[in-house]
Amino acid sequence: MIVTVTLNAAFDRTLTVPNFQPGSRNRASDAMSLAGGKGVNIARTLKRLGEPVIATGLAGGRTGTAIIESLTAEGILNDFVRIRCESRMSTAVIDPNGAQTEIIEHGPPVVDDELEMLMEKISYLARGADIFVLAGSLPLNVPEDFYARVIREIKGQVLTALDAQGPPLRLGLAADPDLVSPNVREAEEIVGYELNDDHDLVGAAETIAGHGVHSAIVHQADGCVARLREPSSKHAKTYRALLPAREAASTVGSGDALIGGYLAGLSRGDDLESRLALAVACGAANTLSPGAGVVDSGDVDALRRQVQVWRVDEVANTAV
């Protein structure tokens, strides 16, 4: 069982507006509404890949009810803590050129007793889980070290994956999660320099893994660079997974789908190369239609056959 934790869950609306004109009245040709937030998106990908998953987190007000009802309608098991304030909404507009504009609310303030209720639920769910995913931004009033606290609380019981940015990511790294998966911009914030090519990506993945993380996956539009170490091994390996970027209907949630694919492969016992191929295929499949974490198994299978995966450190050693 995989558990995803989303403190700042959202109700997402995606509008396709063929003749979008700022400052004027526009009509949408299509609309999609889904529960959202990074952990929810990861849960959606896992569900569509046939993996057992439970989504938990915080949800409040009518928007929170809509989030829970949306997950239930998708067949995604969920067990959220209800909070007093209203959960956030987000709106994305896809214009005639395929560009996507997002408007995202901050999220509700959370009080101490609500946060402690979530901690109790996490401790309970950790007893029957194999993997825990902590993902997304933190709502108002939640300490920036919350993810670090959770990781330390359940470390040793389950494998922990962290998908965040800014201070929650940096502080979370200090708790030694088993896996982190930043995009290029988030990785740049950690390592302190721009990532311009594969050599930079390799250095960033190795630097992030050097913080004590078992595995680090730095992803971008054409795949990822990953520094991976099995829990039972002391030796890490560095890989490059490549699938040339193609025209996308929407890129929102592609990183979430990628980590969902990797965790699905891990849960199934796939080898490292197979996990990365599945991860990159899921990230690419997510771009084929609107909706974060929405992947089609047929698209994933077709794309996975096109992903190239190779050992970067082996190539470097051979060159020497």
Q: Please report the DSSP string for 78-127 in residue order.
A: EEEEEESSPPEEEEEEE-TTS-EEEEE----B--HHHHHHHHHHHHHHHT
Report residue 319's pLDDT band, with 50, 70 and 90 as the boundaries.
very low
The angle at the Cα of 56, spanning 50 to 58, to the nearest 5 degrees, equals: 145
Tell me what pLDDT residue 314 has: 57
Kindly list the structural domains of the chain, giving each domain's residue range(s) and its CATH number in brackets, ordered by start: 2-319 (3.40.1190.20)
Tell me what pLDDT residue 230 has: 77
End-to-end CA distance of the chain: 43
The angle at the Cα of 31, spanning 25 to 34, to the nearest 5 degrees, equals: 130
Burial, 131: exposed, middle or buried (Cβ in 10 Å; 0-12, 13-18, 19+)?
A: buried
Tell me what pLDDT residue 175 has: 94
- As a residue count, the chain comes to 320
Cα distances (angstroms) measured from residue 68 to each of 65, 135, 250:
5, 17, 24
Give the Cα separation of 255 and 261 in Å (integer): 10
Q: In what order do the strands lie in the sheet with 223-228?
A: 77-83, 53-60, 2-6, 131-135, 159-163, 179-180, 215-220, 223-228, 237-242, 308-311
pLDDT digits (tens, 9 = 90+) for 277-316: 999 999 999 988 878 889 999 999 999 999 999 999 754 4
pTM of the model: 0.92
Report residue 103's pLDDT band, with 50, 70 and 90 as the boundaries.
confident
CA-wise closest residue to 207 among 189, 222, 221: 189
Tell me what pLDDT residue 73 has: 96
> b vs e for 93-117, b when ≥16 Cβ sit within 10 Å of the residue's Cβ?
bbbeeeebeeeeeebbebeeebbee
CB atoms within 10 A of CB 246: 11
Q: Which residues are catalytic?
A: 256
Cα distances (angstroms) measured from residue 311 to each of 20, 209, 219:
45, 16, 16
